[in-house]
């Protein structure tokens, strides 16, 4: 199983998120492994605080150094909403990625993550959103889109 590690920096500190690259599910609703933990200071995960995410990362990379594949700048507006008997986290992300040659790609993305409750409620929300003009499910991850920016000569400047 392929994994991607993300370090998110915010005023609250640095967080490591380890995600599987494989998505399971149909349509806009999918599942994947996601582990989180504190990233601590520096780029050496061996000195970060212990967590399931850090331990899995070390098991995967061994002693090899980490390499940044992409840098994304993101502004996030986040709210929890009740949907049926469930709690869903809505995140509206304004994302910008800069390619090595200076080209940029920008987009806005709405994510809905089930925090507690029944996955059927998430599917109901997905169906409501699918009926809204101008909204369509993302077909790639933010990482895939960022990596494509470096390869796509037609991305906006």
Q: Where are the chain's structural domains?
A: 1-68, 70-157
Shortest CA distance to 146 belongs to which of 105, 94, 109?
Answer: 105
Least confident range from 16-20, 29-33, 69-73, 120-124: namely 29-33
Between the alpha carbon of residue 148 and those of residues 73, 102, 157, the distances in Å are: 16, 14, 14
pLDDT tens sequence across 57-74: 999 888 788 888 888 889
The share of the chain scoring above pLDDT 90, in percent, equals 38
CB-based burial, 101-119: b 16+ in 10 Å, e otherwise: eebebeeeeeebebeeeee
CA angle 141, 147, 153 (to 5 degrees): 125
């Amino acid at each position: 199983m392929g994994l991607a590690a993300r370090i998110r920096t915010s005023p609250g500190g640095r967080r490591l998120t380890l995600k599987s690259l494989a998505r399971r599910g149909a349509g806009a609703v999918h599942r994947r492994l996601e582990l989180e933990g504190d990233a601590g200071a520096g780029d050496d995960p061996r000195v970060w605080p212990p967590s399931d995410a850090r331990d899995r990362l070390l098991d995967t990379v061994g002693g090899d150094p980490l390499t940044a594949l992409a840098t994304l700048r993101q502004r996030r507006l986040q709210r929890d909403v009740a949907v049926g008997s469930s709690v869903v986290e809505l995140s509206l992300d304004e994302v910008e990625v800069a390619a090595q040659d200076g080209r940029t790609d920008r987009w806005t993305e709405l994510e809905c993550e089930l925090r507690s409750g029944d996955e059927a409620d998430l599917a109901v929300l997905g169906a409501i959103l699918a009926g809204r003009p101008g909204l369509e499910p993302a077909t790639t991850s933010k990482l895939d889109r960022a990596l494509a920016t470096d390869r796509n000569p037609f991305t906006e400047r």
